Chain A
Amino acid sequence: MGIAIALAGNPNSGKTTLFNVLTGARQHVGNYPGVTVEKKQGRCVSGIDEFHVVDLPGTYSLSAYSLEEVVARDFIVKEQPAMVVNIVDASNLERNLYLTLQFMEMGISVCIALNMMDVAKKRGIDIDIAKLSSLLRLPVVPMVARTGKGRDDLLKTVADHAKTRTKSLKISYGRDIDEALDEMVEKISSEHFLTDRYLPRWVALKYLENDVQILEMGKEQNPQMDAWLSSVARKLTHHLDTTLDTHPEGMIADQRYGFITSILKQGVMTCTRNKNRIETSDKIDKIVTHRFLGPMLMVAVLMGLYQFTFTYSAVPVGWCEDFFGWLAGRVDGLLSDGLLKSLVISGIIDGVGGVLGFVPLILFMFLGISFLEDTGYLARMAFMLDRIFRLFGLHGASVMAFIVSGGIAGGCAVPGVMAARTLKSPKERLATLLTVPFMNCGAKLPVYALLVAAFFSENQARVMFIITLISWVGALLVAKLLRSTVIQGPATPFVMELPPYRLPTFKGLAIHTWERTWQYIKKAGTVILGISIILWAMMTFPRLDTATMADPAPAGTQQAAAWQTGEEQVDPAAAALRHSIAGRMGTALEPVTRLAGFDWQTNIALVGGFAAKEVVVSTLGTAYSLGNVDPEDAGSLSERLQSAPGWGPITAFSLILFTIFYSPCFVAVVCIAKEAGSWKWGVFSMAFNTLLALGVSIAFFQTATWVMS
């Protein structure tokens, strides 16, 4: 099993870099049980010792306000690692030690990996390591994680100290709090209140800090103790409020910082320069976040990211398509016509091909975004755009997901949904996940192209621009709606660090990108293959038997009869499609969709669009008896629609509106469910978006028809 160590530290302190240096490629990514917080584990060997490393989420503190913090402290309490390796940024020692202190208060053995010694030195910060170690009474190992310097020292130190039990740190919080703490600790110890897991003093502190998780746990274990502790906390709060105009939470934090300052002042840290002086990073920021230059540069960067993701990935995407095309061709030759062949080609190969077709896209997108994130530019974008996105209950960092999803027409909601991972605030993140599918992804474009070419040929560019505008405004308004209803709640505090600009390491980028891509293949792959087969079945069964094939009269509703007489000659593929479950759904829904101007053929196409939006075009082709229509070249379908009864600019635009807003394709739905951590949100996005789309289309169609008449 080896020595179990947990890696903890602030975001931007080089924690991921250290993890990569320790474990190399031998890492495994998963989730902490029951939550969407990512859990990375790996093994490493040094000398005779073997280590099992778990990367805890990056946090600034150990409060109960964020999922990451709860996950980090729960892991330590439940899994009892032999040692917490706390990575501390030497160039930012004061704030980084705030987390260290909280680990020490929990009574766990901690070892400090003092990272970025090179940066600290460059900034004129000199740290007396021996002194820091003796004052905090824990091992401190200087290192430079980027270059791997100090790795072996760190592992040796961990191996040496892992067995020794450290005494927990007791900070004095001033007379009032200390007295209350002593009183509480005595009773907690004698009643063994939560002491199977936590130190008595820590439990008492958490009651004073009003920590939701511990309060809940306490209430469950011993309601009387909980009530008594809460009353002590309340009394103290009232006392501090009236005498000092403060409260225990604030006072405790202030004293922790006071403790750190007192340690650093004892000759641990000497700065030869002013700490808040202007660094190179700040000079770059003067330009990058400049009032006018900043936004211009941002547009250029976003366009660049977009080009990078969608242009350069086109080649490998093409290879994927060619490969699956070739495979389908082989199967076509090998199997005789029939159900099995149809299942293998339309169900399995198209399904798997659909999933893998996204892989190059995701790879490139994550490479681009990881680069922007690791350099520190992403935080600057969030900073510049926050004012606008906040109006709609989102966060400045939401922009990335919107752009990748097709904020610039032609993106893809699948990598877009995954790009929302860069968002740390849970409510804002969920609202982003649910609204990015309204953007115009590359698969919706053939649908627009078909309709625009057929009905708005004079104003193509203008209509396309209006479509982009509608999807942005729609997405932002829906975000606002969601944030004031189902995802209600105050904005998560924005307080965010602008990390200094850094050049990302190639290794870091490669590992990160591969990890994400592999996760997608693994997780989405299985589910998506299943759904793909179900969709195939829906468009195939029940089948017309050979007798009806020869005389393709679908089992007789009146509508069907009317439809049949309307057509001089019925194409067997169209008849079979109509006879299938999807076809019946399309027909059954016609009374409702009529209000939006859609006939049953359009309905079937829209059902097919759930597989992938461009399928709308090919399915329309089949339903209008044109045989196979290539989505890239739909000229004949365009002409057919122009002459079809019931079609006109109003119907066409109504369908465009519906396409913008209705259910994301099932690959995106699977991703939303995975990212949101619950299938509930996947189903929600399907149902809500479709109803919204129907509402918008009906409203438009009815108004437009009324105005025109």
Chain B
Amino acid sequence: MPYIQLRQMQVDQTGTIAGIKARGELGTRLRDMGLVPGKEIRIQGKAPLYDPVSLRIMGFTLTLRNNEADHILVEVN
């Protein structure tokens, strides 16, 4: 299965998080909110200007900006 950046995922596409490349504050924040390797996600929608993106993870909805989504690698289904 190919790894792609979360930014490239389409709405309603699902996948499993393979890695978080961000460090420091952003890296901590992403992990605090449950974005850790092994978790399944589904892209829920995009804002009217295609940024930020909203996704489902562990049963709740999370939003992040595209430049933050770039740090997340996903193995898509």
Contacts and interface: CB of A to CB of B under 8 A. Distances in A.
A95 B52 contact: no
Interface in B26-71: 26-42, 44-45, 47-52, 54, 56-65, 68
A495 B29 contact: yes
A65 B28 contact: yes
A387 B52 contact: yes
Interface string A536-578: 0000000000000000000000000000000000000000000
B30 A493 contact: yes
A275 B61 CA distance: 11
B28 to A, nearest CB: 5
Given A61-B28, A61-B32, A95-B33, A250 B61 contact: no
A494 B61 contact: no
Interface string A106-150: 000000000000000001010000000000000000000000000
A295 B59 contact: no
Contacts of A289: 45, 47-48, 54
Contacts of A384: 47-48
A286 B45 contact: yes
A128 B61 CA distance: 24
A276 B40 contact: yes
A61 B35 CA distance: 13
Contacts of A500: 60-61
A494 B40 contact: no
A313 interface: no
A386 B26 contact: no
Contacts of B52: 383, 386-387, 494
B6 to A, nearest CB: 12
A156 interface: no
Measured as residues with beta carbon below 8 angstroms from the partner, the interface class of chain B is: 35 or more
A276 B28 contact: no
Given A275-B58, A497-B61, A257 B68 contact: no
Given A94-B34, A257-B36, A386-B52, A495 B62 contact: yes
A11 B5 CA distance: 28
Nearest to B51: A387
A276 B56 contact: yes
A253 interface: yes
A356 B26 CA distance: 43
A291 B40 contact: no
Contact of B28 (A253, A292, A379, A494): A253
B63 A498 contact: yes
Contacts of A275: 40, 58-59
Given A249-B27, A254-B37, A497-B33, A95 B60 contact: yes
Given A60-B32, A276-B42, A295-B48, A496 B63 contact: yes
B58 A92 contact: yes
Interface of A: 60-61, 63, 65, 91-92, 94-95, 98, 123, 125, 209, 247, 249-250, 253-254, 257, 261, 275-276, 281-282, 285-286, 289-292, 294-295, 379, 383-384, 386-388, 390, 493-500
